[in-house]
Chain A
């Protein structure tokens, strides 16, 4: 049996394993600050902090509230690029899901359970809070609560200390897989919320699956036939543009379409998944930057967003803790370690918010993005400054 701890880690840097065993001397304030900066990585650059902490504030600065480089018109034009980026993220999640399923199906079950607990906690708290306070929301209450819960369920495990942390590898894989259930729910959510439904909600729920299968089949047929890497890059980008464009045209979730296409490519015989992964590596980071800048530019400090932030922060924290507690025994890790590693929401929380913004009324969609952007920044800071300190004490 393959151990859950045998997987390679994604993060770079961190303290020396030998030092950790011998016991490092107490840190001065300056050394503590340096360790904070050197244990995180963004875009392979070290020292640095996570992309969300850099590009969300930068988006606010460039947006309508700041320098106005991202005017409302530019943001409207960028919506198509955001849709394609969401399809790309869906593809990456789909490929990761299929690869992980081959090795450890129970990890998917545990990650989905952890995600479901967080979704339920945040959605329930949002429903109660909005009902009790009379917060005016243009969208159906259940829709905005579900969207907040789905955004909250995303994790990136970027606070994982590498090399020596046994729980870090497990947490990283849980973070990779806990997005699958939210993406599946998003497909259903779009069928329910879409302003221009396809004949019936059932057709709208099946459409992204059919679309993902079609895109997957097209990609599988053409990727292997590329005669050069440049040609394969054109095929991959064209196929992903097709996935995003078709999803936008039919008003279905591009994340869901990408997820199904990614599963197809990873499950199908041939090298389709490797070709896609290699080619996406070139565009993945610029697209993520675009996603974060767009979310930052959309951010508006409205009263509704500030009020909704309270249940989002409180119950994402509580939900992640409860989810980690519920799944820790399945994964043979400490609940506290798992909860600590799952705190940073990463890019996917913002991606879910931007995805739901496409079907929610304008004000409600902007409020959701604002809440999730603030929540993401807050949890990234929390994970950066508090979690390592707390984990040192807990050991």
Chain B
């Protein structure tokens, strides 16, 4: 009887200790704030039977784009560009007669640690806002800037697509909006390689593919293919991801805020 009472009181003490430790640890952990993250649209799960039903190819494509964007978000940064009136050069690539916007939203990709590359049209400069805290290097000749954009978790670098991108495929084109990133599928048909004195070689999609300068191009399986840029004659081309990566690697060791 005495043994039973002893073991019962010992159990009670142990159980009380476990509860006490749980409460203390919870209160200590609750003092930390969860790192701020961007708000994503709420996606309602389709029902099990709905997932089984045969669907059109376009529905599959939409699902792939949505899944891709959810995965790619951690490697993409968003910042703003401001019209650089001191530079004197008017912003290019605007519709005839349209006044140049004072600010532009652009997205970039982390390619080495916290360093990301963004496209910067002539006449603009990067502002250290949103995901970006500093400009590491601005290269006006190439029309890009390498910015410092610390990740909330471990910085994620996307897989880099092969430079011999063959065309005749759907790609995901990522662009920023004021409330978050968006992506849309774009069919790239014929693609040619052209020489460029800034990058050595660019990809030039043929036909009428809708690619906005500064947009990020990914394959549907999440490989980064490049950034859309403007070609000298007003057409659009894609700076291959491998060349962007090599560029970021080459400038990564330099001091911040340098430029050419």
Chain A residues in contact with chain B, CB under 8 A?
72-73, 76-77, 79-80, 82-83, 125, 128-129, 132-136, 138, 195-196, 245, 248-249, 251, 303-304, 307, 310-311, 314-315, 317-318, 321-322, 324-325, 328, 334-336, 339, 357-363, 365, 394
Contacts and interface: CB of A to CB of B under 8 A. Distances in A.
Given A125-B26, A310-B29, A303 B49 contact: no
8 contacts: A72-B63, A125-B26, A134-B34, A314-B21, A314-B22, A336-B15, A363-B40, A363-B43
Nearest to A75: B51
Given A314-B26, A336-B15, A80 B51 contact: yes
A181 B153 CA distance: 39
A79 B33 CA distance: 35
B51 A315 contact: no
Determine the main DSSP class of A at the interface with B: helix
Contacts of B29: 129, 133, 310-311
B44 A195 contact: yes
Nearest to A131: B30
Q: Which of B22, B23, B35 has the most CB of A within 10 A?
A: B22
Interface in B166-205: none
Given A79-B48, A82-B48, A361-B45, A136 B39 contact: yes
B48 A321 contact: no
B34 A133 contact: yes
B58 interface: no
A322 B25 contact: no
B169 to A, nearest CB: 18
B249 interface: no
Contacts of A325: 11-12, 15
Contact of B26 (A138, A315, A357): A315
A357 B51 CA distance: 14
Contacts of A311: 26, 29
A318 B18 contact: yes
B86 interface: no
Q: Which of B26, B48, B70 has the most CB of A within 10 A?
A: B48
A129 B45 contact: no
A304 B35 CA distance: 10
A318 B18 CA distance: 6
B35 A303 contact: yes
A338 to B, nearest CB: 9
B208 interface: no
Given A82-B48, A325-B11, A363-B40, A128 B30 contact: yes
Interface of B: 7-8, 10-12, 14-15, 18-19, 21-23, 25-26, 29-35, 37, 39-40, 42-49, 51-52, 60, 63, 67, 70, 152-153
B51 A335 contact: no
A266 B37 CA distance: 51
Contact of A314 (B11, B25, B42): B25
Counting from the closest, the 3 A-B pairs by CB-CB distance are A132-B30, A318-B22, A79-B48
B45 A334 contact: no
A79 B19 contact: no
A361 B40 CA distance: 11
A358 B47 contact: yes
Contacts of B42: 138, 361, 363
A366 to B, nearest CB: 9
Contact of A307 (B12, B23, B34, B52): B34
B8 A80 contact: no
Contacts of B15: 321-322, 324-325, 335-336, 339
B123 to A, nearest CB: 37
Contact of A79 (B11, B30, B52, B153): B52
Given A72-B67, A336-B11, A321 B34 contact: no
B47 A357 contact: no
B22 A129 contact: no
A320 B89 CA distance: 70
Contacts of A72: 63, 67
Contacts of A328: 11
B43 A133 contact: no
A134 B37 CA distance: 11
A361 B7 contact: no
Contacts of A76: 46, 51
B207 to A, nearest CB: 29
A317 B18 contact: yes
A362 B44 contact: yes
Contacts of A317: 18, 22
B37 A362 contact: no
A307 B40 CA distance: 18
Given A133-B33, A361-B42, A334 B7 contact: yes
Nearest to B221: A68
A27 B106 CA distance: 65
Contacts of B63: 72-73
B48 A133 contact: no
